[in-house]
Amino acid sequence: MKVVGSAFLLSVLSGVVLVACGADAPATPDARNDTPRVDARVVPTPDARTFPPFVDAMPLPDAGPECDDPSEPNNSENMATALAGIDDCDGSGGTVSGALDSTDEDWYTYAVEDTNCLLDPTILIATGNVEVCLFFVCTSGTEDFTCPKGSMATDVGTLSGCCSTSSFDIGVFGFDCDGAADDSTTNFMRVKSASQNSCETYSVGYQS
């Protein structure tokens, strides 16, 4: 009887323990359900990060074929870009750079002072498949010049000068302001594309 009574008491105690464990179990799932709700509030942040790249990519279609030239507009004698004056010493001079589409003309103008050096108007085409014309306007007297071999005498409006697709030097006996001791001039330089390129870039040097 005592043994049976002990076994009965053990089974009753086990039942109490099981009931006690069963009562504790429901608390855990509730706590787990709270955690996903907090995580769900964090989800919108990664989605927001995907938008900036699309905005950054938008400027790309604007980068089309353009022929930027900061000297524009300079398409005629009257709109010529004014350059610093030079004298007839060969250390005096400059370089212009620009870009030409098929119909563009780039005009520049600069004064040339007749000093004690030798006057020999010169064009140096450093880069670019271009035609360069050099026109002269004497400060006093009348323009009298001979275009060197490889260049061609050309008149544009009231201007007279020489044009070539390669570098040229008028030479020390090639230019004179006839009737004047002072051969100072105002020069005009016209650059045009000699290629079929949509955008011909160039660099042209000048001295006198």
Q: Which residues bind Ca ion (CB under 5 A)?
A: 69, 74-75, 88, 90, 98, 104, 106, 117-118, 120, 176-177, 180, 183
Residue with smaller CB distance to Ca ion, 88 or 113:
88
Minimum Å gap between C-beta 164 and Ca ion is 18
Residue with smaller CB distance to Ca ion, 104 or 113:
104
User: Which run of H or of E encompasses 17?
Assistant: helix 2-24
Minimum Å gap between C-beta 183 and Ca ion is 5
Among residues 122, 79, 126, 131, the alpha carbon closest in space to that of 100 is found at 131
Residue with smaller CB distance to Ca ion, 11 or 76:
76
Minimum Å gap between C-beta 91 and Ca ion is 9
Minimum Å gap between C-beta 66 and Ca ion is 12
Separation between Cα atoms, residue 131 and residue 127, nearest integer Å = 11
Separation between Cα atoms, residue 140 and residue 29, nearest integer Å = 105
DSSP secondary structure string, 166-193? S-EE--TTSEEEET-S---EEEEEEEEE
Residue with smaller CB distance to Ca ion, 12 or 118:
118
Residue with smaller CB distance to Ca ion, 6 or 140:
140
Residue pair 125/166 in contact by the 8 Å Cβ criterion? yes
Q: Return the residue matching tokens 């608390």.
A: 27
Minimum Å gap between C-beta 52 and Ca ion is 37
Q: Which residue is nearest to Ca ion (CB)?
A: 69
